Amino acid sequence: MNHLGFELTRVLIGSFDFTCCEGCQLQLANKEATLPEFLALVDIRNFREISSERLDDYDIALVEGSITRSDEIERLKAIRARAKVLVAFGTCACFGGVNSLKNRIPQEELVREVYDGKVIETMPSMRIGDIVQVDLSIPGCPVSKDEVERIMVGLVTRSAATLPKYPVCVECKQQLNTCLFDLGEICLGPITRAGCDAVCPTGKTACLGCRGPAEDINYPSFVQLVKDKELSAADMREKLSLYNGFGGYLDQEN
Amino acid sequence: MTRKIDFDIDLHHLARVEGHGNIHISVRDGRLAEATWAVVETPRFFEAIVKGMSAERVPFLTSRICGICSISHFLTSIRALERAMEIEPPEDARLIRLLAMHGETLQSHALHLFFLAAPDFLDAPSVLPIMQSHPDIVRAGLLLKELGNEISITTTGRATHPVSLVLGGISKAPSKEQLLRLQSMIAERLPALEEASEFFGTLSMPDFVRETEFISLRNGSTYPSIGGQLVSTDGVVREEDEYLQMTNEYLVEFSTSKFTKLSRQSSAAGALARFNNNFDLLHPRAKAAAAAFGLEPACHNPFMNNIAQLVECHHIMEDAAMLVDRLLDADLRDIRTPYKPKAGKATGAVEAPRGILYHHLETDEAGKVVKADCIIPTTQNNANIHHDLHALVEQALQEGRTEQEAEKLCVMLVRSYDPCISCSVH
Ligand code: SF4
Ligand code: SF4
Ligand code: SF4
């Protein structure tokens, strides 16, 4: 492989899943038209979901899911010890994701409700960064393959791979969408990090903040906007809590 | 001939399946001592965390039960909630949802057939070496998978975790241009499906039969997708809201995923179950494809689930083309019925790619969910996989097969069910 006349080597990657839906890993096999080019960048050493070959000599570990059981902590630490770069891959890994909704409920109660008192080990959902050092975060529920491709190219060419700092509204306006606030709906676009091409508002559905906060957001003015438009504070909180990306902001309020 | 051999097969976190499952086989003195299918996935407690959430938001949460069949989960919650709150979505929205289901199933079947199942038949660890050894076959698989995703993107805004499906209908209709593009993509990709079928025709499915009960939806007029009666090959017929009598979930010590049963010790759901119960409703081209594989209802060889998936791909291509034509004739203006939240309870049943999926949801007057129950296709296959493993290893021993051969058959068996394990634990 050649880039601007320099010989490049493929990056050795491993892809690992913890508590989650595995939808982020699945994106690696999507965008079929550019899949051969994508696979030319990476050498897949360990990816249980698609290969029975499991090698431990990966440089980059993509880690999907959140942590909800003690055996997962050990498995994650072993991956961290082997990987040069550990990527929190997707919203569950970056923020805890939808799994964090269980943290509001006593864990014994959950087990009683779903397993009729059978002994099942579980603990409050933790982010990957709560357990090990994370070198790079790629948020999204699921991650956007375009962004993953861009970041992989960055890793292969040893150039900076960064996320957009601005909010979803910027991308939404580029698509010339009617703002959902004008249609009477709360949208988290003004405070959420862009990079998804504003896929939800473009589909006429509110942004639910899966990519977490954009940089330097003005949270109080967002809350004021919801108030000024006489929209429901409960609806706003439900949206903000879905992916756990705004935990800190929600706590401030209470 | 039975040889006096001892061996243990312990497969931890089986590869090329979604989620975490283990196979344990123990043979003593040439006889099967133990065979277990154990799901060790971490539970996420969706039924508990969905409580208190507004109906409108619920499908966005339940869709996260599964990354492969998120559209099915989304639409199953929508069906349960629309039935509970008596919301009638407009006809055009119904058509778009049916098309979305086709997109997801095509994507899921192509992923399973080419990425997960095919490597076993070619003695490869994954699809990656097959890209070199059989580039045309993988290309055909990718063309089908991409078409499936394109249908999902056109109908729901995204390939995984839909954005434009909503209670009461859909939030945004596809444009004429998008539909025309799909129309030509489907036509252009029929040869890829022919190529795929020819390739699978050259593979031989292991010869193994264990009689079981196949459960699927049936509506009597179209091949099943969203809603209908619950039927079994043993003659059971029930209504959607009677799902509990169809599933009879129970806990087993060695698994975090529950087991189910109906008239026998186990039952099966999925492509083969749909095929066995609804063969008469398949498109003629899909019937012809089945005939070419010698697949007839009721087939009790679980390995033929692979072929049933391929047969369904033929049906999907034809039916999707028909739906796209109908949508091109529609004006797609009336796509969303407004509703007022209310108290109610109902079950939604949908044929997800891996089989019948149930969500039972109860709402209060404000439209908040107060009770939830989800029963996943793979959960309904756990007991069948478990008992199949027994019978399969016994047959392998009878045939004098080696430990390695027995192990390979076991993993191929589990993969034939295309289990979605994290989904089954949820
Ligand atoms: S971030 Fe979303 S898509 Fe990714 S694994 Fe978690 S729930 Fe699934
Ligand atoms: S719809 Fe949402 S993302 Fe788009 S401009 Fe309005 S607030 Fe921003
Ligand atoms: S629009 Fe919002 S919720 Fe949708 S993908 Fe982007 S960040 Fe996530």
What is A153-192 written as a DSSP string? HHHHTT-------SBHHHHHHHTTPPPGGGGT----GGGB
CB contact under 8 Å between A19 and B251, yes or no, is: no
Atom of ligand 2 nearest to the CA of A192: 3
Section B15-39 average pLDDT: 91
Annotate B2-36 with DSSP letters as a single string: -----EEEEESS-SSSBS-EEEEEEEETTEEEEEE
Same domain? For A173 and A147 the reply is no
Confidence (pLDDT) at A159: 82
**Helix, strand or coil for residue A194?**
coil
Cα–Cα distance measured from residue A215 to residue B209, given in angstroms and rounded to the nearest whole number: 59
**Helix, strand or coil for residue B344?**
strand
Cα–Cα distance measured from residue B28 to residue B307, given in angstroms and rounded to the nearest whole number: 34
Domain that holds residue A212: 168-251
Same domain? For A191 and A65 the reply is no
**Helix, strand or coil for residue B345?**
strand
Quote the tokens at residue B135: 């580039």
Q: Which ligand is nearest to the CA of A143?
A: 1
Cα–Cα distance measured from residue A17 to residue A76, given in angstroms and rounded to the nearest whole number: 10
Which neighbouring-strand residues pair with A213? A192
Residue among A35, A52, A200 minimizing CB distance to B142: A35
Residue B3 pLDDT class (50, 70, 90 cuts): low
Question: Whats the size of chain B, residue-wise?
Answer: 426
For ligand 1, the distance from its centroid to the CA atom of residue B315, given in whole angstroms, is: 30
With beta carbons under 8 A apart, name residues in chain B contacting A202: 157, 163
ipTM score: 0.95
Final residue belonging to a domain, choices A156, A185, A200: A156
Confidence (pLDDT) at B356: 97
B331 alpha-carbon distance from chain centroid: 32
Residue among B15, B68, B171 minimizing CB distance to A51: B15
CB contact under 8 Å between B47 and A114, yes or no, is: yes
Q: Does domain B46-388+414-424 have CATH number 1.10.3720.10?
A: no
pLDDT at residue B367 is higher than 60: yes
Which residues does chain A have with pLDDT short of 50?
Answer: none
Quote the tokens at residue B159: 């390939």
Q: Is B48 on the interface with A (CB under 8 A)?
A: yes
Quote the tokens at residue B13: 């976190």
Same domain? For A68 and A92 the reply is yes
Sign of the Cα pseudo-torsion (A67, A72, A74, A77, in order) = negative
Torsional class of B160: left (φ above 0), alpha (ψ -120 to 50), beta (otherwise): beta
Residue among A26, A52, A69 minimizing CB distance to B160: A26
Give residues (CB < 6 A) around ligand 3. A 168, 192, 196, 198-200, 207-211
Any domain includes A200:
yes
Final residue belonging to a domain, choices A126, A156, A186: A156
pLDDT digits (tens, 9 = 90+) for B87-132: 999 999 999 999 999 999 999 999 999 999 999 999 999 999 999 9
Same domain? For A31 and A104 the reply is yes
Helix axes B403-416, B377-398, angle to 10 degrees: 160
Residue B367, min C-alpha distance to chain A (Å): 13
Residue B153 pLDDT class (50, 70, 90 cuts): very high
Neighbours of B341 (CB within 10 A): 19
Any domain includes A150:
yes
Residue B233, min C-alpha distance to chain A (Å): 30
Residue A49, min C-alpha distance to chain B (Å): 5
Confidence (pLDDT) at A3: 61
Q: Is B291 on the interface with A (CB under 8 A)?
A: no
**Helix, strand or coil for residue A248?**
helix
Contact (Cβ atoms closer than 8 angstroms) between residue A101 and residue A241: yes
Could you report how far apart the first and last alpha carbons of chain A are, in Å?
Answer: 54
Quote the tokens at residue A23: 């939808």
CB contact under 8 Å between A115 and B126, yes or no, is: no
Same domain? For A30 and A148 the reply is yes
Q: What percent of chain B has pLDDT over 90?
A: 91
pLDDT at residue B385 is higher than 90: yes
Residue A7, min C-alpha distance to chain B (Å): 23
Closest CA to A73 of A135, A115, A107, A123: A123
Same domain? For A111 and A22 the reply is yes
Cα–Cα distance measured from residue B127 to residue B115, given in angstroms and rounded to the nearest whole number: 5
Confidence (pLDDT) at A133: 98
Cα–Cα distance measured from residue A2 to residue B233, given in angstroms and rounded to the nearest whole number: 58
With beta carbons under 8 A apart, name residues in chain B contacting A48: 13, 15-16
Residue B160 pLDDT class (50, 70, 90 cuts): very high
Distances (CA, A) of A244 to A102, A138, A140: 11, 15, 12
Any domain includes A108:
yes
Any domain includes A90:
yes
Cα–Cα distance measured from residue B338 to residue B89, given in angstroms and rounded to the nearest whole number: 9
With beta carbons under 8 A apart, name residues in chain B contacting A30: 149, 159-160
DSSP A52: S
Domain count, chain A: 2
Sign of the Cα pseudo-torsion (A104, A109, A115, A118, in order) = positive
- What is the phi/psi pair of residue B120, to 5°? -60, -40
Confidence (pLDDT) at A227: 97
Confidence (pLDDT) at A5: 65
Q: Which ligand is nearest to the CA of A199?
A: 3
Same domain? For A47 and A141 the reply is yes
Report the amino acid identity of residue A65.
G
Same domain? For A119 and A242 the reply is no
pLDDT digits (tens, 9 = 90+) for B169-222: 999 999 999 999 999 999 999 999 999 999 999 999 999 999 999 999 999 999
Tell me what the pLDDT averaged over chain B comes to: 95
Give residues (CB < 6 A) around ligand 2. A 168-169, 172-173, 177, 179-181, 187, 189-190, 198, 201, 207
With beta carbons under 8 A apart, name residues in chain B contacting A142: 67, 160-161
What is the CATH classification number for the domain harbouring A25?
A: 3.40.50.700
Q: Locate tokens 């601007």: which residue? A: A4
Any domain includes A161:
no
Cα–Cα distance measured from residue A200 to residue B163, given in angstroms and rounded to the nearest whole number: 6
Peptide bond preceding B298: is omega within 30 degrees of 0, i.e. cis?
yes
Any domain includes A3:
no
Distances (CA, A) of A20 to A74, A218, B158, B222, B375: 17, 31, 19, 34, 17
Same domain? For A101 and A219 the reply is no
Neighbours of B395 (CB within 10 A): 18
Any domain includes A86:
yes
Lowest mean pLDDT among A106-120, B41-55, B185-199, B268-282: A106-120
DSSP B41: P
Burial category of B27 from C-beta neighbours within 10 Å (exposed 0-12, middle 13-18, buried 19 and up)? buried
Any domain includes A2:
no
Give the residue extent of every domain in chain B: 46-388+414-424
Torsional class of A5: left (φ above 0), alpha (ψ -120 to 50), beta (otherwise): left
